[in-house]
Structure 1
Amino acid sequence: MKAKEIQDLIDFIAKSGLNKVNIETEEFKISVKRDPDQKVKYVKDSGVSPVHTHAPAPVAAPQAAPAPAPAAAAAPAAPAQAASDESKYTTIKAPMIGTFYRSSSPESPSFVNVGDEVSKGQVICIIEAMKLFNEIESEVSGKIVKVLVDNASPVEYDQPLFLVDPS
């Protein structure tokens, strides 16, 4: 792997918000990890010492105002009911890290929408990883119940993308 490719990988991780990526091939093994102190490390299993670079500073999340007491009391019941409803669905997960796209181009319609019937092997989205666009196929047949990721959002390995009702 060339230095430019390694730098591109580090930049991609810094922009995507991922904390750790491991890549292993026959020739090399690379582990890129963002520590809590926001440094990005590059380690190659060849006796080469790590290269340290600084990642962009994180953006602080706005503090939410405390919710009124009546709303807080009703909130625990709703998630428990939603969790039991979602247990009957099959989750389609991301097979890789990258950027999630619902269509092949901005002008094209989405591969699938809520309510669409999908069959096993049907293309349901694209994940872009290092300038490669990978078509992701459905692992199950059924009806799309929910899209769990926004278009053009970064996704991590094994992150849920869709809920499918297999019945």
Structure 2
Amino acid sequence: MDLKEIQNLIKFVANTGVAEVKLETGDVKITIRTTLEGTTETTYVQQMPAQNVLQHAAPQQIAPAAVTPVVTPAAEDNSKYITVKSPIIGTFYRKPSPDKPMFVEVGSSIGKGDVLCVIEAMKLFNEIESEVSGKIVKVLVDDSSPVEFDQPLFLVDPS
């Protein structure tokens, strides 16, 4: 696990409001604790042959501006679209499996009940179905990305 992945993990945990996350992959163990003041404390241990290395990252203050979405003039045009939001926390996938085509693309016409994506939560793959008919205008999440409850996934033009 490289430094950039660890930094992304710290930012993700800080934005979710989770109090503590522990991650163990191979020879790397990471613990991230979030305090009420919005700071995070990260401890990671990397075990190497014949030695242990213990490193502490300094608490990081996450600036509120980094979390606040920026409103652009284009965002105002999105008011005529319906936003499809995630009903659960998990990992967002646009395909049923790596060798299959994507469920929907930008410009795809969809009907009520059509599968738009799957979200994996605790090794269960949950199909997310459309509650409206229309046309996909924008996909708001990258494939294989973590998503939060009520996070916007797609913009649909109902006309």
Q: Normalization by structure 2: what TM-score?
A: 0.60
Q: Relative to total residues, which structure has the larger strand share, 1 or 2? A: 2
Does 2:17 correspond to 1:19?
Answer: yes
Q: CA separation in 2, counterparts of 1:119 and 1:14?
A: 39
Q: How does 1:1-167 map to 2 (within 5 A)?
A: 17=13, 18-20=16-18, 34-35=34-35, 36-38=38-40, 79-80=72-73, 82-167=74-159
Letter aligned with residue 38 of structure 1: T
Give the match for residue 48 of structure 2.
none
Secondary structure in structure 2 of the residue aligned to 1:87: helix
What is the root-mean-square deviation in Å for CA atoms of aligned residues? 3.1
Residues 78-120 of structure 1: CA distance to partner in whole angstroms, max 9, x if unpaired?
922x122111000000001000000111111100000000111
Query: Residue type of the partner of 1:148?
Result: L
Secondary structure of residue in 2 paired with 1:20: coil
> Residues of 2 paired with 1:130 and 1:86: CA distance?
33
Q: Which runs of 4+ in 1 moved over 2 A?
A: 13-21, 33-40
Deviation of 1:135 after TM superposition, in Å, equals 0.5
Percent identical across equivalent pairs?
59
Q: Give the drift of 1:34.
A: 3.8
- Alignment gaps of 5+ in structure 2: 1-8, 20-32, 43-55, 61-69
Secondary structure of the 1:162 match is strand
Alignment deviations for residues 26-82 of structure 1 (CA, whole Å, 9 cap, x no partner): xxxxxxx84334369xxxxxxxxxxxxxxx969x8xxxxxxxxxxxxxxx9x922x1
CA contact (8 A) 2:10 2:40 kept: no
| Partner SS, residue 95 of structure 1 | coil
| CA distance, structure 1, for counterparts of residue 156 and residue 101 of structure 2 | 20
**TM-score (normalizing by structure 1):** 0.58
Equivalent pairs, count:
111
Deviation at 1:139, TM superposition (A): 1.3
Structure 1 unaligned spans of 5+: 1-12, 22-32, 41-55, 61-75
Note the C-alpha offset of 1:16.
5.8
8 Å contact from structure 1 (residues 16, 154) kept in 2: no
The 3-state SS of whatever aligns with 2:75 is helix
Q: Does the 8 Å CA contact 1:38/1:57 hold for their aligned counterparts?
A: no
Counterpart-to-counterpart distance in 1, 2:114 and 2:11: 30
